[in-house]
Amino acid sequence: MIDPHSLTRPPAAGYTVLVVEDDASIRTLLTSALSAAGYAVASAASGQEAMFEAGNRRPHLIVLDVMLPDTDGFRLTRDLRAQGVYTPVLFLTARTGVEDRIIGLSSGGDDYVTKPFHVQEVLLRIRAILRRSSAPASTTGSRPPLRYADLTLDETTHDVRRADRPLKLSPTEFRLLACLLAHPEHVLEKAEILQQVWRYDFSGDTRIVDTYIKNLRRKVDRDPPALIHTVRGVGYCLRLPRDETRTADR
């Protein structure tokens, strides 16, 4: 049954965003814009404060400046992931190179906005990330789980299991695995994966895909049989091993 109040509720309602930025003027600008858009907002000026707020407030998304006084955003993201915090991260940075973008997203980030930025762009990126990674079931509807062999991914509950073992995945890892599961036994080119999972133009650089596949294998293929396979010079395929020789080529 549709909640009549949901028809007038802004898309941001019910979401908490943590803004981590040491520049007070930028922090104030972002918190004001997010509050005006309907988000609940928490803020931090350092990595230490961010770790506390992330654990205390349990935000739905973190807007994270790369350069902080006591750490950098990439390291902080890795620390959060190591502690089991898989909250989506939107990086803010003055670094504009493709290499920096790859490093940032490889550390566990979900999107990337370069400074100087337009506030409206940040708001649109936040909305897109939340829609991809944590859309409420009432707006997405119930979908049948994606299954292959003993691997199951539920896009409604975000539950992922290999046999009876639950898998803890970051939002980007979740989208990557969903992409592979949507095309079982089909070879996906790296450029195709970039478009479906990241929607980014990396100027032909597909190293971010390789990095995330490596991370995903550590979780999905911890126990045999291996399901994620490399097709050299092309991309990746989710399938059962064909024989010991092909398995050894992974």
Rounded to whole angstroms, how far apart are CA atoms 83 and 243?
37
**Which pLDDT does position 130 carry in this prediction?**
86
Please, where are the H alpha helices in the chain? 24-36, 47-57, 73-82, 98-106, 119-134, 137-140, 171-181, 190-193, 207-220, 244-248
Q: Give, for 160, the enclosing helix (H) or strand (E).
A: strand 159-162
Q: Could you tell me the pLDDT band of residue 11, with boundaries at 50, 70 and 90?
A: low
Q: Could you tell me the pLDDT band of residue 20, with boundaries at 50, 70 and 90?
A: very high
Instruction: Tell me: pLDDT of 226 over 60.
Output: yes
Instruction: Tell me: pLDDT of 145 over 60.
Output: yes
Instruction: Tell me: pLDDT of 36 over 70.
Output: yes
Using alpha carbons only, give the angle 156, 159, 160 rounded to the nearest 5 degrees: 125
Instruction: Tell me: pLDDT of 193 over 70.
Output: yes
Burial 85-98 (b: 16+ CB within 10 A, else e): bbbbbbbbbeeeee
Tokens coding 201: 């133009």
Q: Could you tell me the pLDDT band of residue 248, with boundaries at 50, 70 and 90?
A: very low
Question: For the segment 74-96, what is each residue's pLDDT rounded down to a tens digit?
Answer: 999 989 888 878 889 999 988 76
Tokens coding 121: 């762009």
Mean per-residue pLDDT over the chain, rounded: 84
Instruction: Tell me: pLDDT of 5 over 80.
Output: no
Average pLDDT over residues 142-151: 88
Rounded to whole angstroms, how far apart are CA atoms 93 and 86?
21
103-107, 200-204, 212-216: least confident range: 200-204
Rounded to whole angstroms, how far apart are CA atoms 216 and 174?
9
**Which pLDDT does position 197 carry in this prediction?**
86
Q: Could you tell me the pLDDT band of residue 4, with boundaries at 50, 70 and 90?
A: very low
Q: CA torsion angle for 47, 48, 52, 55 (degrees, to 10)?
A: 50
> Strands 228-231, 235-238: parallel, antiparallel or unpaired by DSSP?
antiparallel
Q: How far from 218 is each of 81, 119, 167, 185, 190, CA to CA, in Å?
A: 14, 37, 10, 20, 19
Write down all domains in the chain, each with its CATH number in brackets. 4-137 (3.40.50.2300), 142-248 (1.10.10.10)
Average pLDDT over residues 141-159: 87
